[in-house]
Amino acid sequence: MRPIALHPASHALSVPWWRRFGHRPLGAVLVLVAFVAAPGLGAWQLASPRVWVSPLGWVVLVSFGGLGLLACGLVAAAALEQVRGALKPGNWVAAVSRSGVWLNARSYLNWRLPPEDATTAFVPFDAIRSVREVREQLEVPLRARTARRYRAFVVLTLKQDVDSRALAERVACEIREVASRAGARDRLRFSHDVPVHVPAPDEIWVEWRGPRLLGQLGEQVRREARVSQRLRGGDLVATGDERAIERYAVALVHRGERVLATDMLMFHRGLGHAEADARVSELLEDHGSYGAL
């Protein structure tokens, strides 16, 4: 068996490649500008001599204005963290080189974690049997609504003599432990973004939307037709199959949706938040490193 080798991110950055694929911070920049400018525009309007406010109105404005400032501050802080992460050297998901593709198992949002961790993997082209695009729609039944998530993946199908266990364990480690290793201010963000996951021993799923990565890989290995799939969590809940529901919760976590997995267990089993979150952690341990349905 040929194992997929893991390396620190610093090693991957020192290797020459043809093209690197990372996230652009434009959306976060726009959100940051909007939520920083909104309080200033509101204060400027109130300071205008054409606006008259009664004393009671000022009390109401100050009360709700304080809550608004707090909300704007929280959103702006989250957007600023995303912008800072996007400007770091670790903002890349995949990099195509002459002999293979590098994959980054650590999200760019987790840039505060130790850089010496072995979070990047090199997959040579001769280890890849084929590549394809998968468009996925997730449906998660909650108490008052059905949450939907739309994702796009570039899927690498590996040859039979390739061992992906090391990468699967690295991804599972990122999912399980990254929140506990982060500071409290970042804890929520660390459970929301998983750029790479390994649902089965012979497949690696890279979350990426756009034709360029798929096109570059398709020049080196066989390219298959695009697949669209719809995962209906509501159908599983209706059947009452506990094992299937638990597998679905694990698959959600491996797709970076731990919050949805916790909420689904709260709704289906009537658990409190702490109990449901603890159950999700237990399921991750029981199901091992792979996150297939």
- Using pLDDT thresholds of 50, 70 and 90, give the confidence band for residue 284: confident
pLDDT at residue 234 is higher than 80: no
Instruction: Say what the pLDDT of residue 34 is.
Output: 64
The rounded mean pLDDT for the chain is 78
What sign does the CA torsion over 245, 283, 279, 264 have? negative
Residues pairing with 7 in the sheet? 120
Q: If you average pLDDT over residues 8-13, what whole number do you get? A: 82
Give the tokens for residue 191. Answer: 């459970």
pTM: 0.78
